[in-house]
Structure 1
Amino acid sequence: MSTHDSASSVGDSARSLIARRIFGVLALDPAATALTFGDRTFPWSYYADAITDLDALLAEYPRARQIGIVLRNRPGQLCSVIATIATGRTVVTLSPHLGDTGLAEDIVDLAPDVVVADEEDWARAAMVEATAAVGAIALCTGPGRAFVRHPMPAPSSPAYKPAADVAVLMMTSGTTGRPKRVELTYQRMAAAFRAAGTPVDEGRELRLHRRTAILWASLAHISGLYFAIAHAMEGRGIALLEKFEVQAWAELVRRHRPGYVRLAPTAIRMVLNADLPRDVFENVFAVGSGTAPLPAELADAFEDRYGVPVLGTYGATEFAGAIAGWTIDDKREWGTRKRGSVGRAYDGIDLRVVDRDSATVLAPGAVGLLEARGGQLSDDGGAWIRTTDLASIDDDGFLFIHGRADDAISRGGFKIPPSVIEEALAQHPAVDEASAVGIADPRLGEVPVVAVTLSSPATEAELMEFLSARLTRYQRPVDLAIVDALPRTPSLKVSRALVREQIFARRPTAT
């Protein structure tokens, strides 16, 4: 491995601490299994070889720092992330789930120094043209070697960006509109790892863990990329899934017998609907859940069915991960009394709730806008960062989320949080999931509509009547659509933007 000296030349910065940690893990037992994907296994030396290859391929381009990676959940792409971080460069996330035009626009807008993808994506002509247009160096990934030179002509004079302390230029998941980019610095990433207990600093034991982690969340989003890096730093092998499929995931749980697994709320619902046998979870002591709001009823149903506690978390891409969550000890002591909470603030994180207009700090239990501060939210850790989440914090420090302020639908001056409609529908026994959004109205400005999936038969008229008994007149949706599935982001969140665009854009409604 050749980049240790260059990575450590910046002293004890977060960048060098993370690099040294990864290099230390890779040196423990290079032949031990680090990654499984389908029937293939890859040793820790696979990561080490990728670091060597990346440095060698970019040796004549020493200022190439921004590495755009089209992040399919495959070994070469995961290895590309680890190599980029270990060499102190910047991961620029590119989503394979975008259409050809969207991916090409992302490459042109971001203009990374390097674009990394596998053969499937290099076959997309628009991507090749965009890479050439920005003068990026083209590298190809594969299962045998993480990096090889792509046959595209190398640029004669790449247009480099100034060096910056950015670990990941990450796109948000786009649940409320077009995804935006956030810069996650090495310092903020290190703070996020520390808050979750991942070893970063000198003196923490270097070892390879016996238990394997199952990683199915998209590497193109913080829920997947964060844990890919964290597991490498803690010396934990990964069983990688290209996407979440219940039976394939259950087989990995049986094979690797992890004590802790992660399931987004949608994945929890899929597991319940598949009626997996209880013995799948015989070695699992807890299920972590994040990326989207976790309905209390859903957590209850899973715990009743499988006898395994669900530990919810609260975070965001902008926070470099979770900033609050349940511990197993808190769950045992407070679980019933704090039902519906997302847990308490992590170490190093302060939370408060303020009035949305005056910014006055509110008393425990009052609902307002959530603000947070800590090292993973800003490099100095001292500034309060206002979120768009409506929240309350009780006397014991437990955080409750009551919807998003920026999702609120403004109907003739009345504000309607979509969660009001969604939670009302959740009480109907036939409703599986619901997503409410606002659509433009020439008279009222905006009116609410809602899309619903069902677990048993029901009619639109029946559900509208059900809502009429539970909502004020202005809260009632003007249209309700029963659909087979709600559109989702690659991280399995329901996408309100796509609900609006795909279900209601051409559907006639009445106010």
Structure 2
Amino acid sequence: MTKQARSHLAGRTLPLLSNWLRHVMGVDPAATALTFAESSLPWSYLADVTRDLDALLSGHPSARRVGLVLRNRPAQLAALLAVIATGRQVVTLSPHVGETGLGDDIRSLRPDVVLADEQDWSRDAVRAAAEDIGAVPLIAHQETGLRLRPGSWAPAPPGLPADDVALVMMTSGTTGKPKRVSLTYPQLTAAFQAAGTVLDDSTGPRLRRGCVILWSSLAHISGLYFAIAHAVDGRSVALMERFQVEEWARLVRRHRPRQLRLPPTAIRMVLHAELPADTFSSVRAIGSGTAPLPPELAEEFEARYGVPVLATYGATEFAGAIAGWSLADHRQWAGTKRGSVGRAHRGIELRVVDRTTQDVQTPGGVGLLEVRGPQLPVVDGGWLRTNDLASLDEDGFLFIHGRADDAINRGGFKIPPSVIEDALHQHPAVSDATAVGLPDERLGEVPVVAVTLCGQASRQDLLDHLASRLTRYQMPVDLRILDQLPRTPSLKVDRPRLQELFTADGR
């Protein structure tokens, strides 16, 4: 690779990750980097957007924090990579939070730049918020790239320092109100390296054969991580705006990828669609994360399609996955370690401590999971404590047993939602189930559950099924059959919204 580039950020030398991305874009500028619908875009398209961003902000050397309204569209994906390639900071803004929510996010986060497409700039609240904070307004468009939005707004002084932060992201908010986490360039680089991506400055980047399919929302870690990782790895991406089984299957048959990523919800959708087995003739493995993977679901997929499902474990705060299954581990251990989320990635350490004594547990003991590694936030003592209840076996396989802060406290009796959910998944007519706690004046909290069906069952059938498997205090006080569970853009169940469904009628 050549000498590291410098950006317009007051002559600042670019981080390794930024410099690497710029070099990837120049390996073969005419090669296809991105497909979307019927469009094919070359690596030079990404390089042009990167140059556009630097040029448009050349008069604003302090404008480092770029608020991106991230839709799964080519211009937004290119803009995301451009921000990283120029050493700036991505402040993720979700178009899915509603107009008022998006405006509030812009005001509270105060990015130096707001970058969105015309669909989002047409929102009154977005325009007003960007103008109020004095952000540089940029428009992203597939055909024209980036351009300055007409107007005479002058940027205000930067609202918050950027330091070496690469991403300011929102967590999924599946267990409570979403929160923002910051990920630095060194953390992000370490996360890619831990997952096996090589950033070797002596040999330089190269483009890979084949194409990967990306449909997870760019506004969440499940999509954003892989959008950057695939570019760093020199891989062409087939981008989808959202997951639709038939269109996704068409892309699988067209591009014949060796690996795919499907969270549990999408795996169920694929199974219910009854796709022909030859759809997966090129696929060596399915990676699955973002939510717990029921062992029986993985077994059903593997039995039908003959493709191993490899669970992973991670979080936004971890800059991606920190543990997972490899194909080699699956071949050796799949029959005896079913239900595990795999083993620690390279450079990651795991341990389990007792919730009361803080003593490190022996193999098999259940307690709170603690993690340590270069991609994780620095904390006193070195070990970052999670809210996940976990165990590690003698071979280093990690098992997750629920979340310590998810337990429903019913008059002093703790009920992990997974106890109710797992019992319902044993019913042949249940497609999916999610239990949540609701406030109760007498007991503090009580459990309720919502299900979707893939067969015939009445509410009473399901309650009878639960009554034969749960203790009295574990029984939900309400059970509802829904056409679909409310979900976040990353297809996790949106637990706060589900709670609202139960409380809307005064429950």
- Aligning the two structures, in what range does the TM-score lie when normalised by the shorter sequence? over 0.9
Distance 1:50 1:449 in 2: 49
Report deviation, 1:393.
0.7
Partner of 1:103: 102
Judging changes above 3 Å, is the alpha-carbon distance between structure 1 residues 2 and 395 closer, same or farther for their aligned structure 2 residues?
closer
Distance 2:294 2:115 in 1: 38
Matches within 5 A, 1:432-447: 432-447=431-446
Name structure 1 gaps, 5 residues minimum. Answer: none
Give me the identity figure in percent: 61
Matched to 1:84, the amino acid is V
Matches within 5 A, 1:267-416: 267-378=266-377, 383-416=382-415
Report deviation, 1:450.
0.4
Partner of 1:476: 475
Q: Is the 8 A contact 2:4 2:19 kept in 1?
A: no
Distance 2:328 2:49 in 1: 40
Judging changes above 3 Å, is the alpha-carbon distance between structure 1 residues 156 and 105 closer, same or farther for their aligned structure 2 residues?
closer
Report deviation, 1:376.
0.8
**Is 155-164 or 27-36 further displaced after alignment?**
155-164
Report deviation, 1:432.
0.8
Distance 2:473 2:379 in 1: 44
Partner of 2:202: 203
Q: Is the 8 A contact 1:10 1:16 kept in 2?
A: no
Judging changes above 3 Å, is the alpha-carbon distance between structure 1 residues 50 and 381 closer, same or farther for their aligned structure 2 residues?
farther
Report deviation, 1:363.
1.1
Partner of 1:80: 79
Partner of 2:177: 178
TM-score by length of 1: 0.96
- Among residues 488, 503, 506, which one is paired with 1:505 in the alignment? 503
Report deviation, 1:156.
5.2
Partner of 2:151: 152
Distance 2:391 2:268 in 1: 26
Q: Is the 8 A contact 1:389 1:402 kept in 2?
A: yes
Report deviation, 1:205.
4.6
Q: Is the 8 A contact 1:351 1:370 kept in 2?
A: yes
Matched to 1:506, the amino acid is A
CA deviation map 1:318-362 (0-9, x unaligned): 000000000000000000100111000001001111111221111
Partner of 1:4: 5
How large is the Cα RMSD of the aligned pairs? 1.8
Report deviation, 1:201.
3.6
**Is 85-94 or 351-360 further displaced after alignment?**
351-360
Report deviation, 1:383.
1.2
Partner of 1:187: 186
Q: Is the 8 A contact 1:432 1:454 kept in 2?
A: yes
Matched to 2:107, the amino acid is V
Distance 1:166 1:382 in 2: 22
Distance 2:471 2:379 in 1: 45
Q: Is the 8 A contact 1:47 1:79 kept in 2?
A: yes
Name the SS for the 2:96 alignment partner. coil
Matched to 2:7, the amino acid is S
Matched to 1:438, the amino acid is G
Name the SS for the 1:47 alignment partner. helix
Q: Is the 8 A contact 1:409 1:417 kept in 2?
A: yes
Q: Is the 8 A contact 2:6 2:12 kept in 1?
A: no
Distance 1:204 1:225 in 2: 26
Report deviation, 1:381.
11
Distance 1:281 1:209 in 2: 20
Q: Is the 8 A contact 2:136 2:155 kept in 1?
A: no
TM-score by length of 2: 0.97
Distance 1:76 1:250 in 2: 24
CA deviation map 1:20-70 (0-9, x unaligned): 211221111111110000000111011111111111111111000000000
Partner of 1:119: 118
Name the SS for the 2:95 alignment partner. coil
Distance 1:482 1:293 in 2: 21
CA deviation map 1:96-134 (0-9, x unaligned): 111111111110110000000000010110110011111
Q: Is the 8 A contact 1:259 1:283 kept in 2?
A: yes
Partner of 1:236: 235
Partner of 1:47: 46
Report deviation, 1:414.
0.9
CA deviation map 1:200-231 (0-9, x unaligned): 24135521111111100000001111111111
Q: Is the 8 A contact 2:284 2:308 kept in 1?
A: yes
Q: Is the 8 A contact 1:64 1:160 kept in 2?
A: no
Name the SS for the 1:377 alignment partner. coil
Name the SS for the 1:42 alignment partner. strand
Distance 1:160 1:106 in 2: 13
Report deviation, 1:507.
3.9
Distance 1:484 1:473 in 2: 28
Distance 2:422 2:330 in 1: 23
